[in-house]
């Protein structure tokens, strides 16, 4: 059994693909649980609806760093209030974090939104789903202010092995997605090779980052075994071992049954 720990199956990329069909295809490929990740007001409501309707779908809510430019501090306050209302229906806060690839002119607002969501997760005793792009050191510096209280997952981890160890020390797991199957994935292959399987979880980040050999098409949870297969090859262990361990890790990370 596999778990997709990071999916956006509410995306408009799936307008011609019913959720029940996405799930059936996932089940056919042994992917039995899917964590649906919200990133703005609309998607936060969508993931809650999905988790209400389907028992194998779990929801997380957050404000993505690339959404910060569309938000005011009042929106942030409202989000936090909303999170308190639905806290029993979510398994994490996020995705949240820092993205200096798309937005470099609102760094202090991104940092404010990130810190408030970390503090929210701590107050609600939930893990956080962290997005970090071209911001790994700053992301680490902020998270380390909350050492011992914060925990969660570095979604689609793309940093160095050394940095990965530091995040693990802080209480984070590393999310491994389709990038590991790409030809130019040297960095992440070293991470997968050296980091203990006990610290890794599988994710698609669908509809994005489709693993080989489907690269260029729409991603979906059913492709998780391709990522597991690649990890098994890199670590010289069986796919069954990858499945068993990463599912165990995901269950522990999100505290799902």
**Distance (Å, rounded) from C-alpha 155 to C-alpha 45?**
21
Output the smallest distance, CB 6 to Ni ion, in A. 6
**Distance (Å, rounded) from C-alpha 24 to C-alpha 202?**
19
Residue of this chain nearest to Ni ion (CB atom): 205
Output the smallest distance, CB 242 to Ni ion, in A. 21
3-state helix, strand, coil in the chain (%, to 5): 50, 15, 30
According to CB under 5 A, which residues from 198 to 237 bind Ni ion?
205
x/- contact string, 8-37, with Ni ion (CB under 5 A)? ------------------------------
**Distance (Å, rounded) from C-alpha 110 to C-alpha 69?**
8
User: Which tokens in the block code for residue 110?
Assistant: 């991104």
Output the smallest distance, CB 127 to Ni ion, in A. 15
Q: Which is nearer to Ni ion, 67 or 205 (CB)?
A: 205
User: Which tokens in the block code for residue 235?
Assistant: 């670590």
- How many of the chain's residues bind Ni ion (CB under 5 A)? 1
* CB distance 60 to 95 below 8 Å: yes
* CB distance 7 to 36 below 8 Å: yes
- Bridge pairing between strands 128-133 and 172-176: unpaired
Output the smallest distance, CB 156 to Ni ion, in A. 7
Q: Which is nearer to Ni ion, 131 or 230 (CB)?
A: 131
Task: Calculate ∠ Cα 204-93-112, nearest 5°.
Answer: 115
Output the smallest distance, CB 61 to Ni ion, in A. 13
According to CB under 5 A, which residues from 166 to 205 bind Ni ion?
205
Q: Which is nearer to Ni ion, 214 or 244 (CB)?
A: 214
Output the smallest distance, CB 204 to Ni ion, in A. 9
Q: Which is nearer to Ni ion, 95 or 232 (CB)?
A: 95
Residue 99 is a binding residue for Ni ion (CB under 5 A) = no
Q: What is the DSSP-derived secondary structure letter of residue 210? A: P
Q: Which residues bind Ni ion (CB under 5 A)?
A: 205
């Amino acid at each position: 059994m596999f778990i997709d720990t990071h999916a956006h199956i509410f995306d408009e990329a799936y307008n011609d693909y019913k959720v029940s069909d996405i799930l059936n295809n996932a089940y056919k490929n042994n992917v039995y649980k899917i964590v649906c990740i919200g990133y703005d007001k609309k998607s936060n409501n969508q993931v809650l609806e999905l988790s209400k309707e389907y028992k194998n779908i779990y929801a997380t809510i957050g404000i993505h760093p690339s959404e910060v430019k569309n938000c005011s501090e009042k929106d942030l306050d409202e989000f936090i209030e909303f999170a308190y209302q639905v806290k029993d229906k979510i398994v994490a806060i996020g995705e949240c974090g820092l993205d200096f690839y798309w937005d470099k002119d609102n760094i202090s607002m991104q940092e404010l939104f990130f810190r408030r969501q970390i503090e929210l997760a701590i107050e609600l005793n939930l893990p956080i789903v962290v997005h970090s792009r071209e911001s790994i050191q700053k992301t680490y510096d902020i998270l380390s202010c909350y050492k011992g209280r914060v925990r969660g997952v570095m979604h689609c981890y793309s940093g160095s092995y050394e940095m990965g160890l530091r995040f693990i020390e802080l209480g984070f797991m590393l999310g491994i997605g389709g990038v590991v199957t790409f030809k130019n994935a040297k960095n992440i292959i070293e991470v997968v090779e050296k980091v203990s399987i006990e610290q890794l979880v599988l994710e698609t980040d669908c509809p994005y980052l489709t693993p080989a050999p489907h690269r260029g098409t729409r991603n979906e949870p059913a492709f998780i075994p391709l990522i597991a297969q690649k990890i098994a090859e890199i670590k010289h262990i069986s796919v069954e071992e990858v499945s068993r361990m990463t599912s165990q890790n995901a269950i522990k990370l999100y505290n799902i049954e």
